[in-house]
Structures are given as C-alpha cells and as structure tokens.
Amino acid sequence: MRKYTPKDSVQKQAYFTDRFFVSPPVPRFNPNSDEIFAKDFEEINYSINVQEAFIEHTHLVIIIDKSFLISCIKLLKEKLEYDMLMELSAIDYLATRDGYEIFYEFLSLSKHKRIRIKCFLQKDESLESVTSLFKSANWSEREMYDMLGVKVVNHPNLKRLIMPDDWYDHPLKKTYPLQGDEAASWYEVDKIFGKEARSIIGPEQRDPAAIDRYDTTRFARLGHEVPFDTDISEFEPETNISYQEENTSKIMKKLKPEESVVLKRRR
Amino acid sequence: MQQPNRLKPFFENIHFEREDNTMMVNFGPQHPSAHGQLRLILELQGEEVVKSRPMIGYLHRGMEKMAENMMYNEFLPTTDRMDYIAATSNNYGYALAIEKLLGVEAPRRAEIIRTMLLELNRIVSHLFWLATHALDVGAMSMFLYCFREREYAMDLIEDYCGARLTHSAVRIGGVPLDLPSNWIEDCASFLEILEKELHTYEGLLTENRIWKMRLENVGVITPSMAKSWGCSGIVLRGSGIKWDLRKEMPYGIYSELDFDVPISDTCDSYGRYKICIAEIRESGKILKQLVPMYEESDTQLMAHAPNYISAPKEQIMTQNYSLMQHFVLVTQGMRPPVGEVYVATESPKGELGYFVVSDGSPYTYRMKLRTPSFQHTALLEELLVGCQLADVVTIIGNLNIVFGEIDR
C-alpha cells in the first residue's frame, strides 16, 4: 500500500525518498533506568493515569490524558520541585490524528533534571490554562493560540501575541503556506488604502526571492537598461549605452604608492 | 471615530482620552530605547506606571515556519538572525540540538574552537549590552568605549570566519575551519586590553552617583517572580539564584573548565550590571584556559558520520563515494532519526532552547525556539507596574532583550 501523505499540507516535502529507507527511532529508555526519574515517575504514576513514559535524550517524557494535565502540573510544581516551566507549545497533527499534541517542558533547579509532559488535544477541544501556576505560560499560551489556533480557557488575556489581532488563520498550521495565504496578500493593502484600492495596487508579493521581469522601477537590467518606469511588457526599446572612461579613474591616480601608507592591520 | 482604512495611525481599541485620572502613553515600536520593535502601552497615574502592556511582533519573520520548510543545514544561517548580537550562541544551540538528535559528537578541537567563539561572543554581547544600557541611562561615553573593545572582538571573529555579525561559524557536526595563524596571540592581546578597559568601565560606572541612583532598587525581580516567569541567565542570577547551565547542566567541554558563576542578592538593576562585568572577566578566564587545550587537541574538525555529515573537502574532491554522498546531502538533506529533542544552552541572554521534532524526513516536523528574551519581555507586564516613567527605559535596557529572538 502506498504511504499516506496529507493532501492539504503545503509544507515542503522531500522530492525523493528511497523505497526501502526507514529512519531509525531515537533510543528510548525505561524511566526506572534513572534514579531521580524513577522516583518522580513513581510519584506521578501513583496519582495520575500515565499513558506512556520513557526517557528520551536525558528528558523524562510523560504522556497523559488531557483531563489530568492540571493536577499533574500542580504535582510537579508543589511536590516534585519542578519549579520552572521553560517552554510550552503545540505540534500540529491535524492531518494525521485530527488534533494537536501539547508539550510542557519543565526544569528543576534543585534536581538538575528536565521533564516533558505531553497530552493530546482533539481539534474542537480546548486546553486549560496553567497561567495561575506558572506565569511564563501567559505569553507562551498566547503564542500557541496565535500560531496554531489552540483554544485555551481560563487564560487572563487570550489575544494574538505576534500576528495582528484581525489576522486570518494561524500561520504555523501545516495547511498554511510559507508565503502567506490569500488573505495575507491583501491584508496591508486593505488596511492602509482600503478594499477599493485592490485593483490599483495588486496583491502583496511576500516571496522575498520573487523577481518581476517587466518591473523597471525596482530591478536593474544590466546590459539592457531602459529609462526608469518604462513599460516593457510589449515592446523593449533598445538603449545605446556608452561609458566615459577619461574622467573616471582620476581619484586613484592621485594616490602614489610611495607617498601613501598601507596599514597591515587595524590599530 | 477612527477610520482604519485611511493612511492614519490606527490604535487598536485604546482609549487615549479617559474619564479617570490616568493617562495612556504609547511607547514604541520605533523608540530608540525600545531595543528593537517593542511597543508598550503604559497607563500612568502621574509619573507612576499603573499598568503596562508590552506588544511584540513587529520583527516577526516566522522562523519556526521557515524551519519546517528548510533542510537542517539550510536553516543554520537563519538562526544567526535570532539573537544577532551573539550569533554563535544561536548557531551552537542549534548545532548541538541536531547533533544530539543524530547521535553525533563534534571532535574535540571543533568543540574547543566553538567554545572560544561562544565566549568571545558572550564578551561581545555583554559589551554591547553595557554600551546601549549606559547610553539609555545617559552615559554617552560608555557607549563609545564599549564599542571600541567590541570592535576588537569582532575583528577576531572576522579573522576566523570572515563575518562580523551573522557568522555561521558553527556547523552541524563541528566547525568548518581551523583557527588562522596568529589568532591565539591576537586573542591574548585582546584579553589584555579588555582587562585594562574593564577597570576603566568600572571606574566610570560602579561608584558613579548618577549610575547608582538610576539603577539601585530599580526593576526589582524577586526570586519567586523570576522562577514563575521563566527567567534565565543574568536576570535569574541577579535574583540570587545560582543557575548557569554551563555549570549546572554542562554541555560541550564546559565541565572541564574552571570558572565562577557570579550572582547578586540585591535583585535590582545594579546587581545585574555587576554580574555582567564579572561575567566578562569569567569569559576571559575561560578563553585563557582554552588555549593550552587547543594546542594539545587532535586536528579533526568535523565529526565522521557519513550518513548525515559531508566528508572533509579534500576527501570530497578525491574520492568518488564521498562526492556522491556530499551531493545527496546537499540536494536532499540529511534524514535524522525519528524523535524529539530539547537542548538548552546558556546564551549570553539566558537559556536558549531548541525543541526539534523530527519525523525522519529532511525537514523538521516542528521546531520550537525557546528564547530567553521572550520570557523577559513577558515579565515587563508585571515588572513595570509601580515604577516611575523615567525608570521604564532603564528596566527595558537592563533586561537585555533583543528583538530578533523575541519575535523570531
């Protein structure tokens, strides 16, 4: 059977993959293989239903159900001394699993250990905010909502953080193109000049590498110069170009090597 | 009534004329003391700030999105543009994260050169911070002095890799070049100059009455506040918490190096200034220790992992199979193992973390960049409340935020 590829993902794909190529998984270890993690895991497992737990790259990863999230984070903070929430965000699995995976990255200053709590969130569900426990979640959750569209409840100020308030869609979704979608290309035109100016200005080009062959105002046409802002879409006038060589190299001639000093290094 | 469709400043539902006695002030995003594109909406009661709302996003380039559309090696130069004051720390954090994911370890000499660049970059970053912070507070001459020494350090980095600001001098699996001849001597003479000039800076600032009045008891961050807001780096150490990832959770060759972690119990801006000066000294100390280590080390510069990393240049040019592998790695990219990795390093600003999710394809499935300045800017929401309007600039400057890594 052919491998499933999400049809609406617009992210870059590998253009060739060997038929028999299989990427090896990152090694995962039993949480009991580390002394401190074994204790933490036991404590968490005692009060919370853990779906999966393993040590990956010296991090203890614990996957739990969304309903246990707050009690688990409370336990980590108050009992297990994981006193800093370093990072929190979501991973877009909308195409394959119809939801997001949320991860929380904790650090314990006293134990020198890092722990990652993960839970899965269905597309139409919302997530409980942890701002009351860790204030660093305030902006991280706002960013997660802004970038991926994960709804967070009980957040003190759930507004877009990075994109403008009236932006359409969430840019980090796999279905959102890198150069921005249709709404993005009209956003600034509409905002500044109004919708009626669309036909005059045209959509915004967000590809930084885009070059318009017929644009004579922004691009130099070396060897085929035409006067500024000439319309060349139908007819390209031939411009005779000549350079004056006599008066150009005078400045350099004035500097005589025997009279000038060449610095070997900066002083 | 505002008309948002015309070429007029548009303020999103902010009522500047208010019934009560407070006044709204819009600070930024183009304010020179905002250290980039920070916009603050301040509510003032007289001179006192009652409420502050930092707004970001004016420098957003979507790096996490770009990472999903770039091969692993392609993305490395983009990381330069995060914290552009200390580009090597970003490169290094990224390279280290991918190396962890691949299970590759950089050769010893490469690790030593990287550490040299990292510490040199830390000095550059701290000098830049001191310069701009002092300029914000009003000490114009400090700006000139610090930039002079920063220039020497930039020359050293330029000697090594040819770039001054965005030097992608660290690669996944090692470094591309050995140190040029005379570099060690130049570095030693730079450290001598720096040591001398640090005394000048301290002489100008440490006991300066104006400097002390502007900084002491300004921007007090209590330890519990620092922990809750996820602060790191100097901001955390300034609150009396001895936490430096280089020391507490060492990576690279930091476990072999001897250096101190300066902390301050005063929790204010002045304490953070003192830590900064002390850290420049510590970086100098590390650089001096690295020289004998460099001379003893083997000459290999890139890790040997043919599945992921191209062979050295001579080998590519002489051996057909290496050339083929190089071609595949450049055109198709490396395919790391399936899994997740979070690697945190101590950048000059604090904990810089890369969370990489790989699905085994040449493009990352998800990359989350955890940057220290992001959390430090979020802190402004609480930190600025209750302070005077004149101290706002001091606090912003003192937190050492760089917008390249806040908006990403």
Å from A2 to nearest chain B CA? 17
Q: With an 8 Å Cβ cutoff, are A105 and B366 in contact?
A: no
The C-alpha atoms of residue B182 and residue B193 are separated, in whole angstroms, by: 17
On whether residue B263 sits in a domain, the answer given is yes
> How far lies B256's CA from each of B111, B292, B344, in Å?
12, 13, 19
The C-alpha atoms of residue A136 and residue A267 are separated, in whole angstroms, by: 47
Q: With an 8 Å Cβ cutoff, are B332 and A12 in contact?
A: no
Q: With an 8 Å Cβ cutoff, are B342 and A136 in contact?
A: no
Q: Tens of pLDDT along A115-158?
A: 999 999 998 899 999 999 999 999 999 999 999 999 999 999 88
The C-alpha atoms of residue B298 and residue A102 are separated, in whole angstroms, by: 44
Determine the residue of chain A that is closest to B359 in CA distance: A23
Å from B248 to nearest chain A CA? 7
What lies within 8 Å, CB to CB, of B339 at 6+ separation is A25, A26, A28, A56, A57, B101, B357, B358
Q: With an 8 Å Cβ cutoff, are B5 and A194 in contact?
A: yes
On whether residue A194 sits in a domain, the answer given is no
What lies within 8 Å, CB to CB, of B276 at 6+ separation is B126, B129, B130, B234
On whether residue A46 sits in a domain, the answer given is yes
Q: Which residues of B touch A194 (CB under 8 A)?
A: 5-6
Residue with tokens 């998984």: A25
On whether residue A15 sits in a domain, the answer given is no
On whether residue B283 sits in a domain, the answer given is yes
Determine the residue of chain B that is closest to A164 in CA distance: B57
On whether residue B46 sits in a domain, the answer given is no
On whether residue A35 sits in a domain, the answer given is yes
Q: What value, to the nearest 5°, has the Cα angle with vertex B338 and ends A171 and A70? A: 60
Å from A223 to nearest chain B CA? 32
For CA atoms B278, B36, B146, B162, the dihedral sign is: positive
Which residue range(s) make up the domain with A108? 28-153
* Residue B16: both structure tokens together: 């500047």
Å from A198 to nearest chain B CA? 12
CATH number reported for the structural domain that contains residue A60 in this entry = 3.30.460.80
Domain count, chain A: 1
On whether residue A136 sits in a domain, the answer given is yes
Q: With an 8 Å Cβ cutoff, are B353 and A87 in contact?
A: yes
On whether residue A93 sits in a domain, the answer given is yes
- Residue of A162, A166, A187 to mutate, testing the B interface (most B Cβ within 10 Å of its Cβ): A162
Q: For the whole model, what pTM was predicted?
A: 0.86
User: What DSSP designation does A197 have?
Assistant: G
On whether residue A73 sits in a domain, the answer given is yes
CATH number reported for the structural domain that contains residue B281 in this entry = 1.10.645.10
On whether residue A195 sits in a domain, the answer given is no
Of A22, A171, A194, the CB nearest to B62: A171
What lies within 8 Å, CB to CB, of B136 at 6+ separation is B33, B393, B394, B396, B397
Judged on CB neighbours under 10 Å (0-12, 13-18, 19+), B216 is middle
- Each of the 408 residues of chain B gets a pLDDT tens digit; together they read 455 555 555 555 556 556 677 888 888 788 777 777 888 888 888 888 988 989 898 889 889 999 999 999 999 999 999 988 899 999 999 999 999 999 899 999 999 999 999 999 999 999 999 999 998 888 888 899 999 899 999 999 999 988 988 988 899 988 988 899 889 999 999 999 999 989 989 998 888 888 888 888 888 899 999 999 989 989 999 898 999 999 888 998 999 999 999 998 888 899 999 999 999 999 999 999 999 999 888 888 888 888 899 888 888 899 999 999 999 999 988 999 999 999 999 999 999 999 999 988 899 999 999 999 999 999 999 899 988 888 898 999 898 888 888 988
Contact B387, B395 (CB under 8 A): yes
Q: What value, to the nearest 5°, has the Cα angle with vertex B238 and ends B237 and B240? A: 65
Interhelix angle for B183-205 vs B140-161, to 10°? 170
Contact B359, A24 (CB under 8 A): no
Domain count, chain B: 1
Characterize A75-102 residue by residue with b for buried, 16 or more Cβ atoms within 10 angstroms of its Cβ, and e for exposed: bbbeebebbbbbbbbbbbbbeeeebbbb
Which residue range(s) make up the domain with B141? 63-370
On whether residue B389 sits in a domain, the answer given is no
Q: Does B243 touch chain A (CB under 8 A)?
A: yes
Q: Which residues of A touch B78 (CB under 8 A)?
A: none
What's phi and psi for B313, nearest 5 deg? -55, -45
Q: Which residues of B touch A12 (CB under 8 A)?
A: 68-70, 363
Instruction: Report how many helices (DSSP H) and strands (DSSP E) chain A contains, helices first.
Output: 7, 8
Å from A172 to nearest chain B CA? 6
Of B64, B351, B359, the CB nearest to A86: B351
Element (H, E) at B351: strand B350-358
E strands, chain A, where? Answer: 28-29, 50-56, 59-64, 84-93, 99-108, 113-122, 127-128, 152-153
